[in-house]
Amino acid sequence: MNLWHSFPRFKINAISVAGPVTELPHLLASPRCHPLIQGSTAMNWDKLSIAELEKHVREHNERYFVKNKPVISDYDFDQLVEALRKKSPKSKVLQELGSDVSGERVEIRHAVPMLSLDKCYDDETLDDWASKFKGDVVVSPKIDGCAVAMQYDAHGNLSVAATRGTGTVGEDITENVRFIKDIPQKIALKNVEVRGEIYMPLSVFARYKSDFANPRNLAAGAIKQKDPEKTGAYTLKFWGYELLNAGAKTETEKRTLLKKNQFQVVETKCVAHDKLHSVFQYFLDKRDQYDFETDGVVYRIDSVSEQERVGSTAHHPRFAIAYKYQGDSAKTKLEEVEWSVSRTGIITPVGIVKPVELSGATITRVSLHHAAMVKKWKLGIGSEVVVMRRGGVIPHLETVVTKGKHPVPIPRKCPSCGAPVEMRDDFLYCTNPKGCLKTKLGELSHFVKTIDCDGFGEKILEQLYLSELVVDAADLYALTVDELLPLERMGKTLAEKLVRNIQAKRDLPLAIFLQALGIPELAQHTAAILAKMGTMDRIMKVTEDELLAIHSIGPSIAKSVVHGLHEHKELIHRLLKQIKIVAAPKAASHKLNDKSFLFTGALEHMERKRAQELVAQHGGVNASGVSKTLDYLVVGDGGGAGSKLTKAEKLVAEGAPLRILSESAFLKLIGDK
């Protein structure tokens, strides 16, 4: 039942409000679902009847906007809607698209409908759209967040906020948005409506990704928390892009007014028709630099009078269009599955696929997520699959188009040590992690990388472990040159260097020490939080309830950290006999936001030590080598980058989220040039 017809309502300029109802419960994680551009499922929507199409549109619309649990890609959904539009352009179902109204909150009616955007996937369609009007176009990234409308009253106070909902009717989230710092509670403008996108930064989402599928789903649940104050704990952000009733004559003027009234406005370019293609490439090139999900570019006529002239359909405005990014996905064949063992004992499947081009890189290896997904998909060698590489994210299998003839077997024994395996929830585990070579090597490698100790590569660590010189991280500090010399390819110079390097790492900041332990879920962010407790004695006594009281720590993290500290008690005791906990140097700024940096080649503007100091001063982390977890490789302007650059370029080609910067670009990034 539509509660809008059941309660009295009152109108506030562009928004009207219905009576109270119960609130929407918190939304949990859903399967990850991304837009597919090249290739998709085998479904042919054109063969379905109007009734069947309407049924599918309603089902998938509700799954995405209400339940936040999509099961098909954005691209498939667009094709489904287009099939219905062709067969029945006046279908009432088309007017329901985009609704996040659950019927469990106060309903808000938009006097000016919040229509969804029309979409295109090629230059030809974009050019056809642009041929229907004159004048400049405002262009900005398409943010994958939650659209909202906010009403400011005659005194400039925030009075009502609503979700997009059906486009005509949304849900009241007024009290929730009061706890989003990006949204001003009072502005100089009077009787206006501000529209924009609430989103979760990717850097914030990193804290929750083990419990939630993607930033949008988490943001959608966060803005509908029963306790509005809890919304603030999610560190949500807001980009403004629309201003109604302010008398602005252009989109450019609207965004200038928004900035003057303390709203954040996403990067925007105002261009002529001959620049429409180049500006798309500009935003595509910058995609990996943004701290938010973006899956395309939005074009909007700059002139408001020209917007009014071209008008809108019942479904979308004619004065705007979203050009979705291409090359994010493609069909290929699964040729093999490899199983790797992590330092925590998780046995993870990796798909070897027939080489395919994605976003300018040749992809041959893709993540298959976990063992449960292999079962669910009924994967087989020869399966036709859709793989995706979105932005800088590691390529992964998105969906299975056809099943292969030979099902992929789930290992019964650990591929490293041969111990029996067991399923825990969705993951396959080695039952002998303390005696598994790959797990132990992973732990040691994690320790030396985290404390930034050079020289201890996988081959050396394997020799140290197999020769029983090093059983755990504490043994590293007891190594001598004489003990190292008998190892394969170990000369006196290298042995002395290794001993010197590890001895130089006896003074460790508490956060680094905690992270180096390799406890599941005790990553950089959580380690920094625990370090604020001051001492290891205090940290060893922390309880799950204490951790759960910290807004960025969820149940799974709290449980894992407390259990891990107990399991590592003996190692911690042994390490504290070898190292000294010291105060961490304070960052002068947070421009680099805990990103990791590595320098290679000849630096022209500074010495390498000074470059590393600048990273630390601006809140970054200096890495010890090129790896998939490295954020930035900085190449000196003097040339001579060598093998590090070659390895980094290879990782980028394989899909690693690693960026390569010039020395000059690095200085510009930190504001020193």
Q: Is residue 144 part of a domain?
A: yes
For 365-404, write each residue's pLDDT tens digit.
998 888 888 888 889 999 998 887 654 456 888 778 888 8
pLDDT at 33: 34
For residue 441, what are its two tokens?
């090597």
Q: Is-contact 158 165, C-beta < 8 A?
A: no
Q: Is residue 74 part of a domain?
A: yes
pLDDT at 406 over 50: yes
219 and 335 inside one domain: no
| Closest among 40, 32, 653, 34 to 331, alpha carbons compared | 40
For the chain, what percent of residues have pLDDT higher than 70? 84
379 and 417 inside one domain: yes
CATH number of the domain residue 406 falls in:
2.40.50.140
Q: Is-contact 388 360, C-beta < 8 A?
A: no
| Closest among 121, 435, 127 to 297, alpha carbons compared | 121
CATH number of the domain residue 529 falls in:
1.10.150.20
Q: Is residue 446 part of a domain?
A: no
CATH number of the domain residue 299 falls in:
3.30.470.30
278 and 308 inside one domain: yes
pLDDT at 412: 96
Measured between alpha carbons, how far is residue 323 from residues 119, 282, 284, 349, 654 in Å? 6, 13, 11, 34, 26
* pLDDT band at residue 15 under the 50/70/90 scheme: very low
pLDDT at 42 over 80: no
- Per the model's pLDDT, the better-predicted residue between 292 and 358 turns out to be 292
| Beta carbons within 8 Å of 123's beta carbon, 6+ residues apart | 277
| Domain end call among 279, 298, 324 | 324
The rounded distance, in Å, linking the Cα atoms of 15 and 13 is 6
238 and 361 inside one domain: no
For 64-114, write each residue's pLDDT tens digit.
555 555 556 666 777 787 788 788 877 877 766 655 544 456 788 898 999
Q: How many domains does the chain have?
A: 4
For 451-469, write each residue's pLDDT tens digit.
989 899 989 999 999 999 9
Low-confidence winner among 15-29, 229-243, 455-469, 547-561 (lowest mean pLDDT): 15-29
- Per the model's pLDDT, the better-predicted residue between 328 and 162 turns out to be 162
Q: Is-contact 35 74, C-beta < 8 A?
A: yes
27 and 163 inside one domain: yes
335 and 419 inside one domain: yes
What SS3 string covers 425-464?
CCEEEECCHHHCHHHHHHHHHHHHHHCCCCCCCHHHHHHH
For residue 82, what are its two tokens?
């287009």
pLDDT at 663: 85
Q: Is-contact 269 286, C-beta < 8 A?
A: no
Whole-model pTM above 0.85?
no
**Exposed/middle/buried for 472, CB within 10 Å: 0-12, 13-18, 19+?**
middle
Known catalytic residues are 142
For 326-377, write each residue's pLDDT tens digit.
656 788 999 999 999 988 899 999 999 999 877 667 889 998 888 888 888 8
379 and 424 inside one domain: yes
Strand-pairing partners, residue 320, are: 300
Domain that holds residue 634: 596-669
The rounded distance, in Å, linking the Cα atoms of 270 and 298 is 12
Q: Is residue 464 part of a domain?
A: no
pLDDT at 497: 94
Low-confidence winner among 253-262, 310-319, 495-504 (lowest mean pLDDT): 310-319
Amino acid at 156: G
| Residue 422, H or E segment | strand 421-424
* pLDDT band at residue 39 under the 50/70/90 scheme: very low
Q: Is residue 499 part of a domain?
A: no
Three-state DSSP at 239 gives strand
Rg (CA), the chain: 27
| Domain end call among 405, 430, 455 | 430
pLDDT at 205: 80
Length of the chain: 673
239 and 271 inside one domain: yes
For residue 408, what are its two tokens?
């992929």
The rounded distance, in Å, linking the Cα atoms of 615 and 308 is 50
Q: Is residue 468 part of a domain?
A: no
For residue 259, what are its two tokens?
């900035």
The rounded distance, in Å, linking the Cα atoms of 664 and 183 is 35
| Domain end call among 556, 584, 612 | 584
Q: Mean pLDDT throughout 300-316? A: 92
* pLDDT band at residue 673 under the 50/70/90 scheme: low
Low-confidence winner among 147-156, 556-565, 644-653 (lowest mean pLDDT): 644-653
For residue 546, what are its two tokens?
């204490």
